Structures are given as structure tokens and as C-alpha cells.
Amino acid sequence: MTDKRHLTKTQQRNRGLIREAALEIFSQYGFRGATLDQIAEASGLSKPNLLYYFPSKEAIHEELLGGLLDLWLAPLRELNDEGDALAELLDYVSRKLQMSREHPRESRLFANEILQGAPRMGGTLDTDLKALVDDKAAIIRHWVEQGRIAPVDPYHLIFSIWALTQHYADFDVQVRAVLDGADPYPGAEAYLHDLFLRLLSPRG
């Protein structure tokens, strides 16, 4: 494997081509279904050239996953305990939906890893992800105690937001087939804002 600290512009370009091709292939076929031959072909490089930069399929996959969790948790990190509770949560829904729209392949890559039992991300999920979710769940619980939002389990609220927004990336083909190819995101954002506004608005 090449030393990333001393790459020429051509080497940087080739590594980028490999990562981009691998993201496409892994998001389509999952780790088990993807092959180095497919990645090499999609990158426009020969397989021996690919292996000069990455010694194995596992090495490419691990590099992609390395930066994925930071990208995927960025919208949750922006949840601000000093902001308006309802506005903060609806903004979080919008950010997650935007993430699905702009990074559908990353969403599918993450989903495939989780469906396989997170063999390459398990330790990170138990530490970085859990710590962040615990922190934001405490903020949501505090908002409930203050009466700023309706009573709700903070963890299951976060799970629901994940499920309802990432669906549009992970099941894009199905969604667009049902909608005759129409862009689902404007309608999705309006619907989800209304749904969570009804759920979270303080009662009485």
C-alpha cells in the first residue's frame, strides 16, 4: 500500500478514482457482492494498478467506512440545546433528509455494513455513535421535562428520524417507481415536518 503522505498528483487522482468507484460498487452490491475486478473496471484502472494503492478489497472498504460515520453523524451534532426545541428537531429532520438526497450511496454503504452486523464498524458504533446519541437524547429528555416538546422517548425519536429520512436513500428505486419518477424530497420534507410537528408539539 502506498504512503498517503508522499503521493504525487497522479497518485492522489488514482486513489480518488478508486474510492469513488468503490463507493458505487459497494453501495450497489454490498461488501460480499463487490469484487476488485468490478472496482477496477469502474475506476478505469487495471487491477494490478488498483492493488498498488490498496492491497485488498477489505482495505478499500475500511478506508471508505473510516470517514463515513463522521459524515453521517454531522447532522445530529448540530442539534443545539440552546435553540428552540421544535425548530431544532425539525431542522435535524431536514438535515438528515438532505444527507439522504446528497449522499445516497454513503447511506446504502452504511446500511449494508449494519445489516451484516457491522463487522468493521462495531467498535465505533459502541463508542463514538453511542456517546453522541446519549448526549443528544439527554437534551431531548430535558426539553420534555421543561414542557418544550410533548413526552417522547428520545432514543426512539432519533431512531424514527433515521428510519424515515434514510428510507429515501436506501429505497430510492422503490420510492421513485411508486411516484412515477418524481423527485420525492420536497414532498417528503413537508410531510415529515408535519408528522413530527404533530408528534412533538406540547399538548394542551
> What is the Cα–Cα distance from 15 to 13, expressed in whole angstroms?
5
Question: What pLDDT, on a 0 to 100 scale, did the predictor assign at position 194?
Answer: 98
Nine-digit cell at 28? 450497489
What are the tens digits of pLDDT across the range 42-84? 999 999 999 999 999 999 998 888 778 888 889 999 999 999 9
Contacts with 69 (C-beta within 8 Å, 6 or more apart), sequence order: 110, 121, 124, 125, 128, 129
Nine-digit cell at 147? 414542557
Average pLDDT over residues 80-102: 97
Closest CA to 137 of 163, 166, 161: 161
Question: What pLDDT, on a 0 to 100 scale, did the predictor assign at position 127?
Answer: 84
Go through the domains of the chain in sequence order and give each one's CATH number.
Answer: 4-55 (1.10.10.60), 65-200 (1.10.357.10)
Question: What pLDDT, on a 0 to 100 scale, did the predictor assign at position 1?
Answer: 47
What are the tens digits of pLDDT across the range 108-153? 988 888 888 888 776 778 888 999 999 999 999 999 999 999 999 9
